[in-house]
Structure formats: structure tokens, C-alpha cells
A and B are shown apart, each in its own frame.
Chain A
Amino acid sequence: MKIFSFFLLLILTGTLHAETLSLQSGWNLVGVNSSLSLEEIKKKIGIENLLLIQGKNKTYQKAYIDEDKGFLNSFQTLEEGRGYWIKVNTAVDIEYEKITYATDRTINLIAGWNLINPPTDLNISETLSQLGDNLKVIQGISKSYKKANIDNDESFLNRFQNFEEPMGYWIKVATASTLNFPFINIKLSITKPILTITPTSTTADTQSVEINGEVGLSVWVNGVNKGIIDSTGKLTIVLDTSGTDGTKTFSIILKDASNNSSDVLLLNIKKIIEPILAVSDETYYKYLWHIDSKNSSEQKIVEEVSSVTGSESLEDNIDPNADINILEAWKITKGKGVKVAVIDDGGDVNHEDLKANIFLAYNVDGKSNDIYHYSDSITDASHGNNCAGFIAAPINGKGIVGVAPESKLILIRQEEEADSAAIEAFEYAKDNGAKVISCSWGTGAVSEAIVAELKSLYDAGITVVFASGNEGSDLDEEGVDDESEVPWVIGVGASSELNDVALYSNYGRNIDIIAPGGNHSTSVGILALDDSGEQGATKNYGLVSNDYAFTDGTSFSTPIVAGVVALMYSVNPDITPKEVRDILISTADKVGGDKADYWDGFDLQRAYGKINALKAVEKAQQ
């Protein structure tokens, strides 16, 4: 009950904080805001060390105890507003719980001398404003105020400025009066928390926020202590932004050890729930037969293209098996964490269906980051755009989708036709973390320096993919030394809408695999991403916007293979380029039916067959 009463009293009057009182040997004039009892004081100072406590009308003397006159000791406890003389034998520091008052305190002064303890800080100006000429003397242990000094033009002798704890003071007044010690909100000037970056919206369930403020202050969010601002002047906190659409408000304040707080910083974060998009939500999904040929077949897109072009020469409908089994592969991975470089004529860095997945853009020719994207509306990089989109166009409800829609692109423009420029492009890709390099070009006369560079990339664990070309030629003919035939790369030919090799696809003993490239002279071709707007390719049949175009070629089979390789690396970053090739050719589908002639798994026109994304990814996982 007593304990309860004590705390109730504290709640009503103030709060407690630990303080130290240093007592020198001999007499000490003290005034502490504490209710220490005699027994507690004895315990802290030591029975033998505490010689005397002298307050107004109340005293404790050890000598009385020693002389069996303890009954003369009237002092029981320190009283509010009263000062005391304390005499100790040897110097000692004692800890006590200081009461910080939360209301005004008043001390009644009798005429003459009063030994007081100031409950709060009060300076001489405020004291004089209350007591006026009634105040005659304030005498502290070292500083004093005397009205007589003023009267004698010796005010310079008055050094007293402020009542300070734990000092006791003698005050002499002419007549009885009261001295009011007003409650002072001693709140420190705490600056409102500052955010380095103020988030306004998020799609995530958490939002990191960096709070800047004075070192040592605690950060409170919606009434919950989130930690202390460290020596760097910062604290990073994580706000819970989970839930449904709408704005969440966070109240952030800083507090010091005395619970003084800053003004409130209100932070509003709008939570945006992004719709979960399916690949079938892509605007032109029905034309993406290399992704979902069954759907394209059912949608009868060949008939649709024929009707708008007036062409009657287009071949049969899309073969339902012409795709690369990518939808099943995406149940395992979409290529997250893998960087794919495209060395070509640049890219449209603001294209609606590309920009989200561009990691870097670099122009080898100009040694800059301008990759022939002239402005927001003009880009001259249609071939590079075509290729990049087949790799990493994201699932975003727009246009098309890439084979590895969560991979990231390094777009490199290299139009300069010197060997040294190509080596610079390869080195840039390697230095910036590409695991796959897609090259939809060739010279037919590869130099030793290029072969050496490709070997070094192979040894560095980077898979390079090259297009075989579109002349329907045999690359094994004497005099042909094409990049796609180099043993350190994956050589890629094209397959068509009919799920067989495209007739234009170059072939040879050193070509490894075929992948969808389409054939728009006999069918619809393959739908690619194009330069935004009017520039770029024009073959859109009025079926798709100017940001997209139907096209064909081994150029587009190549990034599709590069995308599948990215999927493989995403499930197993440690596979070597040799293992990548072995997996690709061992899991390829043997297309061509009766027209094909596979020996040891290899057909001259169809190489080791058409790429199968699911099987390749599954085997890469093993």
C-alpha cells in the first residue's frame, strides 16, 4: 500500500532520475530534491562517516548517539524546499533519486533567515521580480546576493545568478513572503526527425526509411520505440506497409532520455496493390507462337494476317508444337538475377516493353551511354530492340514477353566493323557481369583475335550465342569461317511456325541448335519489339502498334536461345559454357519428322534439334 502511495505521489508531482551528490570532508551546504530518509542517508554515507545533519529546527548528530542521547535527534527525512548542512568525516559521493517536479512549487519564507532548497531552477531576475526590495540576502556556498551591495553601488560583488541543485541557500527577507518556483517545461529543443528520402508510395509490404536526427535520441513510430539514432546520426527503420490499397500514416517523433519529444513528423505512404499479371495479359500474346503455339494456333493468326494482307500464299496454320515449352519452364524460373548482353545496334531505352529490364546501355563506337536513342520519341536501333525484346521484355500487360522476362539487359551498340571494336564490346559485357552474350550478326570471316576473345569468355564462364545467318547456306563450304561456327560459342539456326527448320537458316557441322525465328515470306513471321513510334520496321499489318513488328531471321532465334541460357544460369549459376551447350543439345526436340535425318542426334539442317526450355532448365538444375 505504501509503495502504491509513493508511486501515486510521484505521478502527481514529478518523475525520478538518478543524480550524484558529492560531499566534501567537513561541512556541506546542500539542497537536494529528494526524500531520502535518515536511515538511507546513513547507509549511503556510512554511519561512522556521517557526523551531522542540520536543518531548520531538525538535527541529527552522531555524537548524540555516541553519548546515548539519541532522543535529541529530531531529523527523520529530507523535506521538500529545505536546505541542510551536512558534515561528514571523509569525502563521499552518494547517489540519490532526484524528483523532477511537474508543477509549480512554492516556499514560504519567514522574516529573517531561511535555509532553502530550490525545487527548480530560478534566476536572480525572477527572484527579484517576486520579492523586490524585500529580498536582503541570498547566500550560497560560494556565491551571494546582497541588497546592501546594490545600495552601496557595489553590485559587482553580487555573483549569485541562479539557484542550482544540489546546493542549499540561505535567504534573508525583510518580511514573511512566498517564493514561487514555477514549473518549467525543460524540454530540450529537439529537432523534428528528417527523412533522407520521403517515400510517397510503394507496392511492397514493407518500406525502409532512414531517420536523421540527434545522436542518442530514440525514434518512436506510432507510439512504438524503434531504436536509437546511432553515432552516424541515422537510424533505418522498416515500416509495415502491408494491407490493401490506401494511404497509411506514420507518426514519427524523437525522444530523449527524459522523455522530452520533438514535434511530430507525419509520413503518408500510399500503398499500391499491383495486379498480378499473367503472361496471357500481354497485349499481343496471341501472336507469340514461340511462347504459346497452341494458343496462336487456336487463335488462327495466320488466317488473320492473310485477311489483312490479302496474301493467299501463306502456309498452314501455326503448328501447335512450334513453341519452345517455355510456359512450363517459367514455373521454375523467369531468369531473375542473370544479366544478358546484347551486342547490336543499340536499343530504345524508353520503350514501354523494355525499359524496366535494362541494366546498362553502352555505345562502344562513341564510348558513351548513348545507344542511338536520340530522344524520347526517336531511336534508330530497331535490330537491337528486336533482339533485346526476345530476351527480356517483361510481363507487364503490354506488347510481348521475353523468354527470360526477369533477367536484366546490357545493351551494347557496336556498329564499328573493326575486330578491335567487337573485342571492346565483349570486354564491356564481361566487365559488367554478363553471363550470356547474344550476337545476332556475323562476318563470315572470323579473325584469330575474335576466336581468342571468344575462348577467353568461354573460359571465364560466359556463354556466347551467335546467329548462323539467313542465306540457306552450308557453312561447311571451304572459305567460310563464321563466328557461329567457333567452338567456344552456341551456333543458332532458325525454326519456323511449322515446327521445323526455316529454309533460309544457314547450317553446318558446327551449328548447335535451332530456335524460333519465323518466316514471314511463307507465314506470319515472329512478333518482335521495335523502335517506338514511326521509326524502325514497318511490318505490323495494322494488327500491332508501331512499337512492334513482325520479322524473321536467325537474328531472333539467337536471343531466344540466349534467354533460355539465362533461365539455366538462374537456376544454376555454376554451370560452365560447355555444360550449357551439352544440356541444350541433349535436351533439344528432334523436329522435322520424316524429312529429318538425325545421326548421333545431329541433322545437318536442324543441328541437334529445336531448343526445349523446360528440359534445359530441369537438366541445369540437376
Chain B
Amino acid sequence: MKIILLILLGLFSISYANESYYKNGKLVELQNIYSSSEANDLSIKYYKKSFNDLPIKYYKTVTGNKVGVTDQLLVQCSKSINCPELLDTFDLLNYSKLSDTIFIVTIENGDDIFSVSKSLFESKKVEFAHPNFIKEKRKR
């Protein structure tokens, strides 16, 4: 019985494990809601299951905003850094430029996007490296 309870607790913990990334230099947490009913309450356009053919996982921010995350990061390197070289050193080979300074990077090989995001930021060579968030865009 105890074993069953431990297994259930473990599964619950995995399902609701929190993820984190750096925002403005501070580590912020995202609560996993992608397997909860909350995800279905999202008004993000038609509760999309994927973006750019990548599956979307939904999270809730500490302030209650719901955001979607795929396996894509948005990265801006520090001014003195050669961004393609930096991405290469992290074995991030699938990337393209969105603007003069912002790169969109697709995480491959099953790596965890939040781990990669934190590693990049902790290298102190990027201004930011956060998920390509999918957020409810409200007309006003």
C-alpha cells in the first residue's frame, strides 16, 4: 500500500513539477498545468496543441498568467558575443535570426528547454534566453 502511495505521489510530483527560467536576471517559476483541466480554460487561440509543429505545454506564472511553451527559445546575446559561435558551443545548431539581435533556437535531441535556457543565461554571455512564450493576446 505504501509503495502504491509512493508511486502515486511520484507520478503526481512529475506531472506538476515546476519549471524555471531567468527573467530580468531573476529566476522565476512556472507551474506546470498542461495535464490539468486549467489548460482547457485558456483562451489562447482555440487552446492550441502545437506551434510550428512543436507540441505546446502550458504553464501558469506566479502572477496567474497562463503561457504556452514549445521547444523554442528566444535568445539575445551580450553585445560583445558572437551569438552563432555561442550557440554552437551549446550544441544548439537549429537556429535563425528574428531580428538584428534576436535568435530563435529550436532545442533538439530531447534536451530540456528550461535547463538549456538556464545554462545559457548562467554563462553570462546572453541578455536573455527564455522560451518563445505563447500568450493570450487580448484585443482592447
Contact = CB atoms under 8 A, between A and B. Distances in A.
Interface of A: 344-345, 383, 415-420, 422-424, 426-427, 440-445, 447-449, 452-453, 456, 467-470, 478-480, 553-555, 558
Interface stretch (B8-16, B31-39, B78-86, B126-134): B126-134
Contacts of A469: 138, 140
A417 B74 contact: no
Interface in B85-115: 98-102, 104
B138 A452 contact: no
A441 B62 contact: no
Contacts, number: 104
Contact of A415 (B45, B101, B133): B45
A383 to B, nearest CB: 5
A470 B134 CA distance: 22
Given A418-B51, A424-B98, A442 B140 contact: yes
Contacts of A453: 99, 102
B135 interface: yes
B45 A417 contact: yes
A479 B62 contact: yes
A427 B99 CA distance: 7
Contacts of B65: 443-445
A383 B140 CA distance: 9
Among B23, B65, B74, B127, the most chain A Cβ lie within 10 Å of the Cβ of: B74
B99 A423 contact: yes
A452 B23 CA distance: 13
Contacts of B64: 479
Nearest to B97: A427
Contacts of B124: none
Interface of B: 23-24, 44-45, 51-52, 61-65, 67-68, 70, 72, 74, 76, 98-102, 104, 127-128, 130, 132-140
Contact of B102 (A442, A449, A467): A449
10 contacts: A417-B44, A417-B136, A418-B52, A419-B133, A419-B134, A444-B138, A448-B23, A452-B76, A452-B101, A452-B127
Given A418-B70, A445-B67, A452-B76, 15 more contacts: A417-B44, A417-B134, A419-B133, A420-B72, A420-B98, A441-B137, A441-B138, A443-B65, A445-B63, A445-B135, A448-B24, A449-B128, A456-B99, A478-B63, A555-B140
Contacts of B136: 417, 443
A453 B132 CA distance: 14
A553 B140 CA distance: 6
Contact of B132 (A383, A420, A470, A478): A420
Among A441, A445, A449, the most chain B Cβ lie within 10 Å of the Cβ of: A449
Given A417-B135, A452-B128, A555-B140, A447 B74 contact: yes
A440 B101 CA distance: 25
A19 to B, nearest CB: 69
Among B45, B62, B98, B136, the most chain A Cβ lie within 10 Å of the Cβ of: B98
Contacts of A416: 45, 51
Nearest to B22: A448
